[in-house]
Structure 1
Amino acid sequence: MSVSCRGDCSVPRGALDAPRAAGKTGAVKTVLAIAACGPRLELALGTSPDVTGVVALAGQTPRSELVMAAVDLLLRGAGIDREALDGVVASRGPGSFTGVRVALATAQGIAAALALPAHGFSSLLAQAARADAPECLAVQPARRGFAYAQEFSRAGGRLAATGEPSILPVEALAGAKLPVVAPVGFPLPPGTPLAAAPRSTAEALLVLLAAEPHPDPATLAPIYMEPPATTPPTGAPPPWPPSPKVS
């Protein structure tokens, strides 16, 4: 696990400013992004106008307590306490069923504990937002040998879907007509056309939230394109443990 800011981590000035939820006043300044729908967990911390830290953790599907520990690591690296957060954003699928649930439960728990504005975005949209290409095919891992895929285009600085999401054999991506944006660690067949993706998925979530004038916690609901292997848990997420103070 590492905390880093790679290259030019800036986002447009004021881009992380958005209305706060009740209980907070002023504009959103420090935002936590959680992406766990792909092969690795990614967290990003944005303090307007910069991305100040990124955590990436590859391996087994993350558990809630592991995500919480990664959040605390990221905050300590930035020298701030949990109470300094002003908003939270998360990927909501499609992708790893467990990853989707963990990301959303963590975001919901943080938002509820700290009375923060929160928002969820499609993981396919988040993949597309990693790239600056005028057109791309965003993909996410599905069941073995398959991928979720959706076409996007960018015009006038705005990103929009140009087709419905679908499920494709991974081998079909080698013949894609548009450049592909896939999560880091997702194996693609030789010959797959690739779009340059300078941002991590978590950083892309910060960019998407910057363009969302009205963060809505109701969007922290999972997007499943296939039935999950297990029934999602119901009820409120567990309480967040006390915050370790920054020395």
Structure 2
Amino acid sequence: MVAVSSPPTLPGLQRWLALDSSAGVLSVAVGPAGGDALAWHVGAGGPQASATLLPVIGALLQRVGWRLAELDGIVLAHGPGSFTGLRTACAVVQGLAAAARPGGLPVLPLSTLLAVAESARQRHAPAAAALRVHAALDARMDEVYVASYAWDAAQGWSELAAPRLSRPQDLPSDADALHAGNVAEVYAGRLPPVWQGEPAAHTEPCARALLRLAAAGVHRGGCVAASAAQPLYVRNKVALTVDEQAALRAARQAG
């Protein structure tokens, strides 16, 4: 007799916590996976996030009348982005998920750049049957994180190009796509022309977008245990040496 293993039970979709602190903004939301947020918070990120994240989560859960143990799961923007912001978010999610109840809460790590793409789609092309989005976030050190995605109203999102590092001037620049992210203010005229002046180029990652993405991620089997929720850094080096900083300043002046 051959034993047949049953497929893993998927978590419910009704009560989810979403959070992102990968860029300069702290974004937290609660609501159903695949739906609209019931309550949310947007505030200062960076170093402030470590002090405010837990109180914000507690206040939102209280607002909707949910206890942490009642959550179906937590969806997390795990990168790429700010090293400090990613570590803060992952540490908080690991602690909350492990402590919530015996066995812990499922955690769904999603790309920060996919959250940017979804935010841009929802705001600038909500009725599009098909869409391509190039999403980019400032990586500092004169580089940007970029990934490319395709939206199909029947199938959802698919990844065309995985998150990677790029020079600002080398970003994808096809005219029939949305170009989304937070790089317009930082690199301005160094960006390809299609990035300059496009409204979607002023898009931050958003916890409400993570909630909308969560149902598809759950159905794809993307949930992990709390201990497996790790940052996606893309770049392993966090700072330039003094000589590299001088070389970078010289290159900017020459440009």
Normalised TM-score (structure 1): 0.71
Q: Which residue of 1 aligns with 2:212?
A: 207
The answer to whether residue 17 in structure 2 is matched with residue 32 in structure 1 is yes
The answer to whether residue 243 in structure 2 is matched with residue 222 in structure 1 is no
Pairing of 1:35-184 with structure 2 (within 5 A): 35-47=20-32, 49-114=35-100, 115-132=104-121, 133=125, 134-155=131-152, 156-170=154-168, 177=175, 178-183=177-182
Secondary structure in 2 matching 1:225: coil
Distance 2:205 2:23 in 1: 12
Using the TM superposition, give the Cα deviation of residue 104 of structure 1 relative to its aligned residue in structure 2, in angstroms: 1.0
Using the TM superposition, give the Cα deviation of residue 123 of structure 1 relative to its aligned residue in structure 2, in angstroms: 0.9
Distance 1:185 1:117 in 2: 35
Q: Contact 1:34–1:89 (CA<8 Å) still a contact in 2?
A: yes
Q: Which moved more, 1:32-41 or 1:63-72?
A: 63-72
* Pair 146,197 (structure 1): closer, same or farther in 2 beyond 3 Å: closer
Using the TM superposition, give the Cα deviation of residue 202 of structure 1 relative to its aligned residue in structure 2, in angstroms: 0.7
Deviations 1:36-94 (A, max 9, x none): 11111100101465410111112533443421111112222223333332210101111
Deviations 1:168-191 (A, max 9, x none): 334556956432221599646262
Q: Contact 1:40–1:61 (CA<8 Å) still a contact in 2?
A: no
RMSD of aligned residue pairs (Cα, Å): 3.0
Identity of aligned residues (%): 28
1:131 maps to a residue whose letter is: A
Secondary structure in 2 matching 1:109: helix
Q: Which moved more, 1:119-128 or 1:95-104?
A: 119-128
Decide which structure has greater helix share.
2
- Mind listing any 5+ residue stretches in structure 2 that lack a counterpart? 1-8, 126-130, 190-195, 240-255
Distance 2:184 2:68 in 1: 30
Q: Rg larger in 1 or in 2?
A: 2
Using the TM superposition, give the Cα deviation of residue 113 of structure 1 relative to its aligned residue in structure 2, in angstroms: 0.7
Secondary structure in 2 matching 1:107: helix
* Pair 168,200 (structure 1): closer, same or farther in 2 beyond 3 Å: closer
Residues matched between the structures, number: 207
Distance 1:183 1:90 in 2: 19
- Mind listing any 5+ residue stretches in structure 1 that lack a counterpart? 1-17, 21-26, 231-247
Secondary structure in 2 matching 1:223: coil
Q: Which residue of 1 aligns with 2:253?
A: none
